Amino acid sequence: MTKAGVGGPVTRTYGPLYGDAFSNELESFHRHIMDGTKPLTDLADSRRDLALMAEIIDRMKQTTGIMR
């Protein structure tokens, strides 16, 4: 974002990523493949996240009736 400042234009950058989540993940995946690095989380972490989300959705179904 650029604003007018006392000494001229002042540009500030907010956040490291501006793309959508899928594009950000794809870029990270590509970097790991090209650089031979490993992500901070592994497949087991992803599975636990999915299981947690399933539990949250089930609880919402039971308690709120929102998702039927």
Would you state the torsion angle of the CA atoms of residues 51, 52, 58, 62, taken in this order, to the nearest 10 degrees?
150
Statement: the pTM of the whole predicted model exceeds 0.75: no
Residue 65, SS3 per DSSP:
coil
**pLDDT tens digit string along 7-37?**
888 888 766 666 788 888 898 999 999 999 9
**pLDDT tens digit string along 38-47?**
998 899 999 9
Q: What is the pLDDT of residue 2?
A: 78
Residue type, position 4, single letter? A
- Expressed as residue numbers, the domain containing 34 is 2-64
Residue 63, SS3 per DSSP:
helix
Q: What is the pLDDT of residue 16?
A: 66
SS (H, E, C) 4-60: EECCEEEECCCCCCCCCHHHHHHHHHHHHHHHCCCCCCCHHHHHHHHHHHHHHHHHH
